[in-house]
Chains A and B, each alone.
Chain A
């Protein structure tokens, strides 16, 4: 297993290097730069700005110096937009917020998704199945940018229970986590129901029941592990999506997370911030996919590390 993990990590290194290189050069070939603005700056000011950021040197030198700073010092460089902040600082400030939002959303997604999914699988084709299945179908169809403002409209503006935007008090986590988590919960519920139905109809479940195991034990001990397999394979990309793809949620609820910086940095041509966030998200996706593979082997004895 350790050899497997080490192998995967070594595979990831060239992937990351290629990604950084491609992103670096692609960014530079996109029209418009960090200093392009509605009001033109004088040529002298532009020259001095470029000199300050080392952009007056040949592109290859800039690339080598960026890679040198990154690999030997872990330094992502200064941000172009926030001129007195470094990219490391911005990531250190905003990533925890995105991770926290991700963690709460994942908790909501798993709790609601698994509960609804299991509930629906217990009595198929009855109202106990139809209601959770309908809820999850609606959840899948309802985009977060509709659900979010609807929740705000009711819970914040009408009832005054929550802030409409911001990330100040613990209570401010509720609406963003419900919106983002709710969307994934819907998928998880469908997958859990499917997985559970399949396992519950197998022979070993009948055996367990015949041996007098309680229904709770049948569900929790015998079916859940197998029933969750489809959910686990879904979770890998979902977790990466929850953490990196929360731009919409972060904008609706004005959560000061990294998702917004990720998107806005591209619009601002904040070269270093784009690279920093791309590298970070790529690493996260690689790590989560690896974790999912490990969990899948653990859950399913038929699979082996190769």
Chain B
């Protein structure tokens, strides 16, 4: 080998390497003041909200991610109580309900204003409702307004005269809404963003009122009516909102601003929390929950959330058409074991489809785990000890958690019933497409309630529901839900729901597995943030304070 030692060259390179690396390290490495500490001093909340926000237009927004931001920028007639979600006065300072529970009269605050200082009147609400129901806007949440008289016909384009929709305006501060049938959950429903007013003059400056893609939610153009508004353009990673001086209740608002971070990786979010960049995460990886629980970390926040994780059975499948088989499969699943072993207790075992205490309703019928009974039912259906039972497929969208649960269910069916199940995973949209076309046997599913009422869960299993996707239908079930929708007496109404849920659980087109919890990390200096079923957090009561 060449053994010439090139001392000068060696010196040159090592010196160069050491100097430049050292320089690079020195310029960067200073301990920084974490954003969360600055936030506490400046009353700026730093909150991560998951994926990028596709829309700030409340009429086009579809998800809870957008709601996290939209609820800071807009306010509806009613606002949810931060703890109980009970209807509280928002833009409406009070309301009256007619005896037949069909007409709701809202008296609007005279000092309600838009963020450009212009007055907010009942006409703004009517025009906003007209916009979201316009067929050409194709608003995905427009159906939430179908409780209004004739709203559904207008939305589908059958009715073109908007004056026939159940909205009238006795004077500019009074709004009268007429329902097609009594809906005891109506006030709660009004807290949904689909009911938020939008500023039509601004929208029309950048396009037609009922046109998608009108570019009015950009910084500099945006006009809202919530406690905050925004001037700084969002750049795909952070959006900063500041106090709206024209908000009617501006004196109550304690935060000076909120910085929303769009972090679409739960792991990155957790690291950002630990490095002091954010006060509140959107979620927490399930693999880390155990550690946080064991170390009793005060930042960990687990609270019930209005949603159910369940399996659908395709009842048009020749094997699964037999309800005894569906029941046997249901009874062989030990849900408690799944929650304890796989989910580390981070979710709640589901005994029915509607989460317990939904607006005071808890299903009287419970799904049983009973392997003996399951084996008996399977034998009755012609497959004693699972003999001759063809392998079935469990479909889920690619995700480590879904896979873990499917593997446990697969093992339980094998252990208790002696039947084979194959796991099939598909990319999310492919899986949704297979599900819609009933191209599956068993598939993993979830449902999140739009509003706190059993109907938000039970309506989807009616024959006409686009979300049913099991092929299951039952005329008695449909009838009970129709009766519930017409019933004014809350007890009788819950009784109809109970009877319907009994049919659903006994016929077993679905297997409830667990009810969701929202799991996130919250800096203990965040005050006025309360956990609730819809995970809604009115910002005007939130503030930051050192212990």
Contacts and interface: CB of A to CB of B under 8 A. Distances in A.
A31 B430 contact: yes
Nearest to A119: B13
Given A38-B446, A166-B237, A252-B265, A216 B9 contact: yes
A136 to B, nearest CB: 14
Contacts of A37: 62, 140, 432
Contacts of B430: 30-32
Contacts of A49: 138, 212
Please indicate which of the listed interface residues B8, B135, B269, B429 has the most CB atoms of chain A within 10 Å of its own CB: B429
B5 A123 contact: yes
A164 B274 CA distance: 8
B250 interface: no
A111 interface: yes
A164 B271 contact: yes
A173 B350 CA distance: 46
Nearest to A174: B28
Interface stretch (A15-23, A81-89, A234-242): A81-89
Contacts of B382: none
Interface stretch (B14-22, B503-511, B513-521): B14-22
B9 A267 contact: no
Interface string B1-44: 11011111110111011001000100011111011000000000
Contacts of B275: 152, 156-157, 160, 162-164
Given A45-B140, A84-B57, A219-B9, A31 B236 contact: no
A155 B9 CA distance: 33
Contact of A45 (B31, B138, B272, B433): B138
Nearest to A160: B31
A149 B52 CA distance: 22
A248 to B, nearest CB: 10
A218 B237 contact: no
| Most chain A beta-carbon contacts within 10 A, residue among B52, B214, B236 | B236
A122 B6 contact: yes
Given A115-B16, A119-B17, A215-B7, A83 B54 contact: yes
A161 interface: yes
Interface in A208-264: 209, 214-216, 218-219, 251-254, 256, 260, 264
B192 to A, nearest CB: 13
B357 interface: no
A41 interface: yes
A124 interface: yes
Contacts of B297: none
Nearest to B434: A31
A106 interface: no
Given A111-B20, A161-B32, A125 B272 contact: no
Contact of B9 (A122, A149, A254): A122
Contact of B268 (A45, A84, A159, A251): A251
Nearest to A269: B429
Given A48-B136, A94-B236, A216-B9, A252 B20 contact: no
Interface in B276-322: 276-277
B100 interface: no
Contacts of A149: 267, 271
A180 interface: no
A40 B9 contact: no
Contacts, number: 190
Contacts of A52: 136, 138, 212-213
B407 interface: no
B233 to A, nearest CB: 10
Residue from B7, B218, B264 having most chain A Cβ neighbours under 10 A: B264
Contacts of A78: 213
A157 B271 CA distance: 7
Contacts of B236: 93-94, 256
Interface in B458-480: 466-467, 469
Nearest to B207: A84
B157 interface: yes
Contacts of B428: 32, 267
Contacts of A168: 237-238
A167 interface: yes
A300 interface: no
A215 B6 contact: yes
A17 B344 CA distance: 52
Contacts of A36: 429, 432-433, 436
A201 B492 CA distance: 94
Contacts of B274: 157, 164
A157 to B, nearest CB: 5
A253 B268 contact: yes
B217 interface: yes
B427 interface: yes
Interface string B143-161: 1000000000001110000
B142 interface: yes
Contact of A33 (B4, B55, B139, B429): B429
A169 B80 CA distance: 38
Contacts of A30: 429-430
Contact of A218 (B6, B52, B431, B466): B6
A30 B60 CA distance: 25
Contacts of A260: 264
A3 interface: no
A39 interface: yes
A207 interface: no
B215 interface: yes
B235 interface: yes
A203 interface: no
B246 interface: no
A219 to B, nearest CB: 5
Given A83-B55, A84-B57, A159 B29 contact: yes
Interface in B217-266: 217-218, 235-238, 261, 263-265
24 contacts: A30-B430, A31-B433, A32-B427, A32-B432, A37-B62, A37-B140, A44-B155, A44-B157, A83-B54, A84-B214, A84-B218, A118-B13, A122-B10, A157-B275, A160-B275, A162-B28, A164-B274, A164-B275, A165-B271, A215-B10, A218-B9, A252-B265, A254-B264, A269-B429
The 4 closest A-B pairs by CB, nearest first: A32-B429, A215-B6, A48-B138, A40-B466
Given A45-B140, A84-B55, 8 more contacts: A31-B434, A32-B427, A37-B140, A41-B466, A48-B135, A83-B212, A162-B32, A215-B9
